[in-house]
Amino acid sequence: MNIIVEITSSMKNLVFLVTLGVIVFFTFQNANAITMTAVPEKQEFGANEWIKVYLSIQGYNGGQINWVAHRPDNSIISGVVTDQFKPQKIVHQIIRDANDNQFGSWTIDYKYAGVNQTVHFNVKPLGLTVITDKITYYEPDTMNINITSSYFEPYAKFAHFYLLNFYDQDGNDALGTPEIEITADKPSILYHFPMLKFAKFNPPGLYTLKVRYFNSTTTVPFLLGDIHKLMELSVKNSDTLYPGSDITFELLMSRVTDSTGTIKITDPLGNTTSTQFSPQSVHYTISLKNLSKIIGDYKFEINYAGITKTGTFRVIQNPLQLPNIQVEIIPNKLNYKPGEIANFKIHVSNVTTNSISTWVTSPDGISSSPVELPMNTTEIIIPHKISQYDTSGQWRLYVNYDGIEKYSIFSVIGAAIDDGKILSAIQYNIPYFVSEINSTTFQFPNNIAIDKNDNIYVIDSGNSEIKKFSSKGNLLLSWGEMGSSNGQFRNPSSIFVNEKYAYVTDTGNSRILMFNKTGGFVYSWGSYGTGPSMFKAPAAINSNHKKELFAGDLEQGIIQIFDDKGTYKDHIVSSLTDGASFTGIKSIAFDSQDNLYAITTDNRILKYSSIGEFVNFYGSSGNEEGRFNNPTAIAIDSKNNIFVADTGNHRIQKFDSDGNFLVSWGTEGTGQGQFEQPVGLAIDSSDNIYVVDKKNNNIQKFALYGQTNKNNQPSWIKNTSVWWSEGAMDKKEFSLVVKYMINQGVLKIPSLSQDNNAKIPNWLKGNIRQWSSGQIDDNTFWQSIQYLISTGIVKV
């Protein structure tokens, strides 16, 4: 007999079967049993994506869902899924990003009320590839770094950054090279890293570039080569030896190729000695004995691996003891035209004797006779008049101060300058004061621009504003405020205005802002960095006649070129060409031929041609004519004359288009024609120049032309007279002084023929010295000259 008993619950049915006194239990699942499904959102997640799994539970009755994730590195993370199903379904998310480095196969086990479910999926690896264009770099090179990643964000504002760091072979941070951030908004990015600053702070050797993206890193080793090892030759002891000294050369080459080379020495008598050498390394020293017995100039020629290097050195009488002083020669330009006067500033660390001798050597090696000049201070200017017939090429100016001999190289190049040019008086006229804009709301104005309608735009840096004035100085409008949003500034420093737009360098935000001429924000570009369209401290902007924008940076040796919409086109980079290196730019201007002039942070003006080729540099540090103390602004008038705000010297200096000093005006003060901190210049369509004085909070307007000062006496008059009296100039140069003063009516003498054989009395030189020191006034001095001419003693 069988007895069946059924008990029903919400979970299952139990059936008891009693047979022959034995009870048997059977269990059956019904339609309400628990089932679980887990499906990953995708089978392969991106390197930076969260994990998403869609969970569904049939028969869910509350409580926690436990999960355990097995990651690619065999580590485990676990947790519980919330019990707030909507309804019976939920998306389980594991928050992660590429910093976890968990790329590869994942497994997640889910468990609920005794029911298990497992899912499998992959996380795509974060690909990071870094390739440089070569292994060895030298100072003028640019390292081209190509960075490629499998993950990027195309919207720059949301993108992550590649972090670039440089380390030396000991793992220490490379000097002078802070971490670089590059926006990862493209699958592949080419970054240009100039080696100039890197080489300035770090010695040659092995280095490592490390690129980090999230927690993934890639390292690339590279060599910083010694620029002097590119087959350059140098002679020790500043090209000067003493009789019997060993002649020592340092042969520096990029690599050893040939087993032998030849060096040939020619002594002052024309005798030649040839010697073979066998370099064992890229840095090889050659020392020759018993070849320097004769005093005079020697020539050497070194031949190695098909390269020939030549040069000279001098053997001089060995003094008993040379003074422990430093002698420095600082030219006012690099390249000169025939007919110009080259000025060399001589600086000594202390005065040990009262004279200095000087001479020049032509490109053919022919030396002039030495001239001895008085030197009673630590600095003097030595002039050298370049003849209209002097040979083109590299010349050397030598000085010998108390036995210490130094030289400076300069080049003579281009068409000759007619002496008559110096006699044109109008170029020496000092501009006359016209008016002043003295807004009571100015707080440290620091730059200015003028549009084609002669409207005036002033950067009022203390207020973080641009103020627009009419040509009559009436305020028309202003815009801007402190900040980093569109239309806001942090330390704006320069402005340029064309037909439609005003461009402002927003220095503190490392960008350039573009506005319409009523102050409406249009566009901005730039971010902090060293790549194309990136800036550290942009501080100069101007445009050539092709409407290309040129932007200079205070902290980078580069001038970037953009179209008028801000699209990067090209750049001019600091180079090792003589005089062409720079670490920062403060102001930019163009002449009528699209030649570019840029003020550097080391007190020089660089000139580039319209195609970006380096032409020349002008000036150096100092307070002499043609030299600067923190120059900050440059402007060029319709005659291509150059005007520079020489801020630290409280003056404006004027130069001709070849960089020759003409005249300056301004003294320290607050009155008309005086300046405390002149920092901005602009010239309007009528050749009026506007000078922004940051400390005086005003703008002075001067007319460059229109009034002639017949009694104007340019500085070259007194300079040339003094130099002639000291023997640095011949009497032909002094005759130009007299002729100029006749043309100006100071000497009322009829036109006289020139006689270069006339003897000028020596007492006149004494008068010149007294005149230059203020012991004789101008009228007395010129009366003495007039007497000499009228009596025929001096002929012009």
Question: Minimal CA–CA distance to 146: which of 220, 37, 94?
Answer: 220
Helix (H, G, I), strand (E, B) or coil at 616: strand
For the chain (796 residues), the mean pLDDT of every run of 10, in chain order, is: 37 40 43 82 92 89 89 93 66 91 94 92 92 85 91 87 95 94 92 90 93 93 77 52 80 70 91 86 75 88 82 79 84 93 94 94 90 93 92 92 89 87 87 90 95 96 95 94 95 96 96 96 94 95 96 95 94 82 95 96 95 92 95 96 97 95 95 96 96 96 81 84 87 85 78 50 78 83 80 64
At 141 the pLDDT is: 84
Amino acid at residue number 496: F
* pLDDT at site 246: 80
Residue 41: name the closest of 86, 97, 87, 106 by CA.
106
Determine how many CB atoms are found less than 10 A away from the CB of residue 72.
Answer: 16
DSSP letter for 462, please: G
Q: Note the pLDDT of residue 710.
A: 57
DSSP secondary structure letter of residue 333: B
Rg, C-alpha atoms of the chain? 39
Q: Are 191 and 532 in contact (CB under 8 A)?
A: no
Q: 111 by DSSP, 3-state: which?
A: strand
pLDDT of residue 477: 95
Spatial separation of the C-alpha atoms in residues 86 and 191, rounded to whole Å: 50
Domains assigned to the chain: 1-33 (no CATH), 35-123 (2.60.40.1930), 128-224 (2.60.40.1930), 227-315 (2.60.40.1930), 327-422 (2.60.40.1930), 433-703 (2.120.10.30), 715-790 (no CATH)
pLDDT tens digits, one per residue of 539-577: 999 999 999 999 999 999 999 999 999 999 999 998 766
* DSSP state for residue 50 in the 8-state scheme: P
